[in-house]
Structure 1
C-alpha cells in the first residue's frame, strides 16, 4: 500500500508542475475503519469504511490553493491539478506561503521504531461486538444503573504518505482499538449519565472491556441525587478526565496562528511566568505506542522534543513554516495538515509536571469546593482569557465528597487560574496528553 500512496503523491506533484505550479506538495491517506454499536444487548449499528483520499497544494509564486478527492484515477489527478492552479491564480498573495528548503527536511522518516501501527490482524466484527456486549453488561450490572445509552467497540488503521516538489517523500501507518460505554442511573427527571472509554494503538494493550463498562456504571450511579452547589468563590479540582482542557487553553493561546493574528491572551507572555515555578510543559513526539507520536511534521520537517513551559516560564510559540515566517522565527516542526487544507501549527504528545499528592489528598486539602468531572460548553475570550464553562461533578465539604452536583457554572480568568495550579500525580501514561487532576484556587461558582 505504501508504494501506491507514494505513486499517487508523485503523480499529483507531476501533474501540478505540468499544469503551471512553481511548487507543490501532496498527501495520500489510505484507511480502514470498523465500528460496532450495541444498545440494551442488541446490535444498533455496524459500520465499515475503506478508501483512499488524496490532497494537493499548489503554489504559483506566493499564491496557493488546496484541493482534495477520493477518486484516484489519472483523469481526476489531472483535473485536480488544473482546478488547483485556477484557484491559486485567483488567490491573494501570501508572502509566508511556501515549502521548506531541502536542507530543512527530515532525514529520519522511518516510524517503525515508534510502534504506531499494530501488526496484529484486523479484528472481525464479532470480536468487536463481543467487546461492546461485555462492556455494556458490566455497566448494567452495577447497582443503581437503570439502563444503557450504548456501548461501542471500534478499530481503525490508516497509512499516510506526504511528498513535495522540494524532494521530500515519506509515510507511515497508524492503528487504533477502542471500547466505550455510557450508563444511565435513575429515571425520568432524576436520570444521570456518565461514561468510560479506553483506546490503544496495540489491541493487546486494551484494558478488559468489562472493566470499562463497570467504571461507566459506577460513575453514573455515583451521580444519583445531583443538585446545584452553592454560589460563591471556591477552590475547584479538575478531575484528570477534564484537566487536559486547562492545558489545552494554554496550548491554543501559544499557537502561532493566534499569535500571528494578535488574538491571544498570551501574545505578550513569552519569557514570563504563566504557571507555578515548579511546573513545566513538555512536548515529546517520540513516545512509543502513543497516538501523538510522529517522525516528521506536515511539511516534512523533523519533529523534536521541546520544553514549552520551563519552570513556569513560557519559552515560545508553536509554529509551522508560515506562522514562523510571519513572526520572523523558525518553525518548531509542528505543522499538521489534512488532505484538504494547508499546514497549520499543532501539538503532539504533551506532559505536565506531576505533583506529589494523589487526587484524594487534594480533595482532602481543598476543604470545601467543587470536584469537576464533566464540562459543558465553553465561553473563552481569546484576547483576555476570561473563562466560563458549565460543569458537573461533586461538592466537597471538610475534605470529603458530600454529594453530586450539576447545573452550575465556573468562571475565572485563565492567566490567574494557570498561575495557581496544583497538580495531582494521577496522569495516565498511555495518553497523548499526560495531564493529572488540577486544583485551581478561587473560581466563581454560580449554582443554587
Structure 2
C-alpha cells in the first residue's frame, strides 16, 4: 500500500518533464499525474456478477510559448524527452490563446494542510463481495420486494501530482469506499424500482450494508402502484434531499465562471444581485477535514478558501480557474480542476445551507402538494433557466405523505424557483454537494 501512495517518483518524473520542455523551447510548463486505484464487486440474486480492478497514473504535460499553448498525455513508461519535444512542437504551430497561462506565482500554495483524505484500510475482494451480498439479502428480506437489480461494493483511491515551471510541487491522495443496492417491488405495470447507497472517505464510517439494503427495500415498497394526479398551475413541490442535491448542482452550473464567460448561464449578468430568497446562502469549502470533495490545492497549485458563493440571497462569487478568471477580468479563487489536459473551474464541498424548520413541519406547512423523490430527463436550459423534468414521488394531502405518484412533469423557471425556495434543517454533508429537503412554491405540475 505504501508504494501505491508514495508519489515521490511520479513528482520527480513530472519535474524532469518540465525541465526538458523548457530546454526544448517552452516559456513555461506544468506537468500533472492523475492517479487512480479501484476495485469493485457486483452481485445479483446471491451470486457474483462481476469483479473489476484497475489502476492508472496518467501523465499530462502543458507547455506555453508566448500566448500559444499545447498539451499532450501519456501513460507511465513514456520517453520524457520525446514527449516534451512533441508538446513544444505542437505549441509552436497552435493558434494564440490570450487567456491560457499558469497561475500567477503569487497565488501558488507554498504549504497546505493535511485534510485527512486518505484511509489506508485494506479492503479485500471477499469483503466487498460479502458487503454486496449482505445489502441485497437485507433488501430482499423486506416484505413486498420481488426482485433485485443488483448490489455492489467498491474501494479505491485517487489523487493528483502537480509540478509547475515556476516552482510549485505537490501531491495528495484521497480514498473512497461505497456500498449500493437496487431492488424491485410489485408486479406488471405496477412494478417499481428504488435503491440506496452510501459513499465515504473512511471505510469504518460507511453505513452497514444490511441497513442500506433495508432502506432500499422500504423505499421501493412505498412506490408500488403509483397514480397520476391532476394538472395544476400553482403547486408547492418539496424536493427530497436526493433530488435537492441535483438541483443545487444547477445552481453551481449557473455560477461557474466558464459558463459566464461563454454567456451560457442565465445568471451571467446577476453578480451582486439577489438570486435566492433573502436569508439563504450557498457555501463552497475545499478545506474541510475529511470532506468528500476536499483538496489541499486545485489543479493549478492554488489553495482555495471557504467562500460564501451566495450570501443572504445575493450572488457574491463565480467559480474561477486562472484562465477563466482572466477572461472575466478577475483573479482565480482556487477552483481549477484538471480534466485530461484542460483546466476548468468547478465546485468543491458545495452546500445549500439549511433553514430552521424540520422536514416534517415543512411538509405539514404545505397542506396539499407534491413530494419528489426522483427526477427523470434533462429538461433544464441553463441559458434561459427554463426547467421541466419528469418526476415521481408522493402526493401531500393535509400535510401528510399519502399515495405514490408517477408519470408527471414539474415545470417552472430556475430564476423563479430560486426565489421561492424554503429549506428545511436536515442537511447531510457527507456528499460533495449537500442540500436539505426544500420546498418550492408556484410550480406547474402536468398530470392527467
The TM-score bracket by the shorter chain reads over 0.9
The 2-side partners of 1:78 and 1:124 are apart by 39
Deviation per CA, 1:227-285, whole angstroms, max 9, x where unpaired? 22221121100101110222211111111111112221111111111111111111111
Distance 1:108 1:141, change over 3 A: same
* Residue 69 of structure 2 is aligned to residue 44 of structure 1: no
* Residue 71 of structure 2 is aligned to residue 92 of structure 1: no
Deviation per CA, 1:331-355, whole angstroms, max 9, x where unpaired? 11111113x2221111101122211
The 2-side partners of 1:202 and 1:316 are apart by 31
The 2-side partners of 1:66 and 1:369 are apart by 52
Matched with 1:306 is 307
Q: Is the 8 A contact 1:5 1:160 kept in 2?
A: no
Aligned equivalent of 1:101, options 104, 112, 118:
104
Q: Is the 8 A contact 1:134 1:209 kept in 2?
A: yes
Q: Is the 8 A contact 2:249 2:433 kept in 1?
A: no
Q: Is the 8 A contact 1:109 1:170 kept in 2?
A: no
Specify the SS of the correspondent of 1:380: coil
* Residue 132 of structure 2 is aligned to residue 127 of structure 1: no
Q: Is the 8 A contact 2:353 2:427 kept in 1?
A: no
Mapping of residues 112-123 of structure 1, within 5 Å: 112=114, 114-120=115-121, 122-123=122-123
Matched with 1:369 is 369
Matched with 1:201 is 201
Specify the SS of the correspondent of 2:253: helix
Q: Is the 8 A contact 2:191 2:225 kept in 1?
A: no
Deviating more after overlay: 171-180 vs 152-161: 152-161
Matched with 1:167 is 167
Please, what TM-score do these two structures have when normalized by structure 2?
0.96
Specify the SS of the correspondent of 1:126: helix
Q: 4+ residue stretches of structure 1 with deviation over 3 A?
A: none
1:90 Cα deviation after fit: 3.2
The 2-side partners of 1:410 and 1:372 are apart by 9
Q: Is the 8 A contact 1:100 1:166 kept in 2?
A: no
Matched with 1:73 is 77
* Residue 414 of structure 2 is aligned to residue 410 of structure 1: no
1:74 Cα deviation after fit: 4.5
Specify the SS of the correspondent of 2:417: helix
1:48 Cα deviation after fit: 0.8
* Residue 156 of structure 2 is aligned to residue 156 of structure 1: yes
Specify the SS of the correspondent of 2:250: helix
Specify the SS of the correspondent of 1:173: strand
The 2-side partners of 1:38 and 1:310 are apart by 45
Mapping of residues 183-222 of structure 1, within 5 Å: 183-222=183-222
Specify the SS of the correspondent of 1:378: coil
The 2-side partners of 1:80 and 1:366 are apart by 62
The 1-side partners of 2:355 and 2:159 are apart by 38
The 2-side partners of 1:18 and 1:148 are apart by 59
List alignment gaps of at least 5 residues for structure 1: none
The 1-side partners of 2:383 and 2:36 are apart by 39
Aligned equivalent of 2:9, options 4, 12, 19:
4
Deviation per CA, 1:257-315, whole angstroms, max 9, x where unpaired? 11112221111111111111111111111112112111111111121111111111111
The 2-side partners of 1:8 and 1:373 are apart by 48
Q: Is the 8 A contact 1:159 1:174 kept in 2?
A: yes
Q: Is the 8 A contact 1:65 1:87 kept in 2?
A: yes
Deviation per CA, 1:319-369, whole angstroms, max 9, x where unpaired? 11111111111111111113x222111110112221122222211111111
Q: Is the 8 A contact 1:199 1:206 kept in 2?
A: yes
Aligned residues: 442
Q: Is the 8 A contact 1:36 1:125 kept in 2?
A: yes
Q: Is the 8 A contact 1:274 1:418 kept in 2?
A: yes
Q: Is the 8 A contact 2:274 2:314 kept in 1?
A: yes
Q: Is the 8 A contact 1:8 1:28 kept in 2?
A: no
Deviation per CA, 1:89-129, whole angstroms, max 9, x where unpaired? 3322111111122222112234x3x1100032x21100011
